[in-house]
Amino acid sequence: MSPATSTALKLNNDVTIPAIGLGVFQSPPEETTSAVEAALRDGYRLIDTAAAYGNEREVAEGIRRSGVARDEVFVATKLWISDYGFEAAKVGFAASLRRLDVDYVDLYLLHQPVPSDFENTIGAYQAMESFLAEGRARAIGVSNFSAEHLRTLIDRTDVVPAVNQVEIHPYFSQPALRAVHADLGILTQAWSPIGGILVYVPGSDEGRGPLTDPVVTALATKYDKTPAQVVLRWHVEHGTSAIPKSVKAYRIAENFGVFDFSLTADEVATIDALDKGVRGGPDPEKLNRDTHPKVVDNS
């Protein structure tokens, strides 16, 4: 594969999504605008936000300031669980469109399953199917779904999710779930793609993440790249979409510099072998309104 072949990926409805995008979870509102503006100037064309992140307005402002046309930016956001259910989802979606100052989004995701209230999870997805039919979302999908959640959803609804956005980095690479995605025609999108969840959770230190792993740092030295670039290139080699977050301009640029080198199949396999099979984030089976009591204000 030539180094740059996978700058964009195709979804199951033929919509194209950039392989690398900017994530803005935990980006403070005042830094989100400058991060989005910097990313778009560097060539990013995918921004991943969520109603629950509280910075959709600042994403909109960053897009405006960048001068990049709306239809050149792939805008992805997510419905939070306080807006699950068919009717509530319509309210939540309208509020996201308003905050993002757009009349459509490129990708709309259920932020997470609520296994103990899967009826309302399905109801919300059915509302998303209507947004897709109306052209107000170009693609719809889910996040943090297990294989079982995906199968149940697909049995009960009409549109196979285009994307499942899940925790994936070298220490938790989820090969079994990725195989299910491939079978079902669902694109894998990696959150915490450079292992942020292992580093920023309370009590952690940088040594827990994959960026200091000797396998990764040796490849960084070999290719004269940074550890983050090696890990992001590993995602590209797998055909995974990745959405690294940074509010620092130099890192935003760094994280996009992954299309001028490639890893060999053996090197990809060496990084695959780092998988510890232990997630940093919460178990999707246990997500509910008690573990995640946040309520999005749609006023």
Binding site for ligand NDP (CB under 6 A): 23-25, 48, 111-112, 143-144, 165, 191-197, 200, 211, 226, 228, 243-248, 251, 254-255
Residue closer to ligand NDP by CB (options 88, 243) is 243
Q: To the nearest whole angstrom, how small is the minimum distance from the Cβ of residue 211 to ligand NDP?
A: 6
Residue closer to ligand NDP by CB (options 92, 195) is 195
Q: To the nearest whole angstrom, how small is the minimum distance from the Cβ of residue 157 to ligand NDP?
A: 20
Residue closer to ligand NDP by CB (options 54, 195) is 195
Q: To the nearest whole angstrom, how small is the minimum distance from the Cβ of residue 86 to ligand NDP?
A: 22
- Nearest to residue 150, comparing CAs of 191, 185, 99? 185
Torsion sign (Cα): 203, 35, 61, 16:
negative
Active site residue 53: yes
DSSP characters for 229-272?
HHHHHHHHHHT-EE--B-S-HHHHHHHH--SS----HHHHHHHH
Give residue 21's region: left, alpha or beta (phi > 0; psi -120 to 50). beta
CA distance 146 to 112: 10
Residue closer to ligand NDP by CB (options 66, 189) is 189
245 contacts: CB under 8 Å, gap ≥ 6: 22, 23, 24, 25, 26, 27, 196
Q: Which of 53, 108, 125, 171 is catalytic?
A: 53
Q: To the nearest whole angstrom, how small is the minimum distance from the Cβ of residue 31 to ligand NDP?
A: 8
Q: Active-site residues: which are they?
A: 53
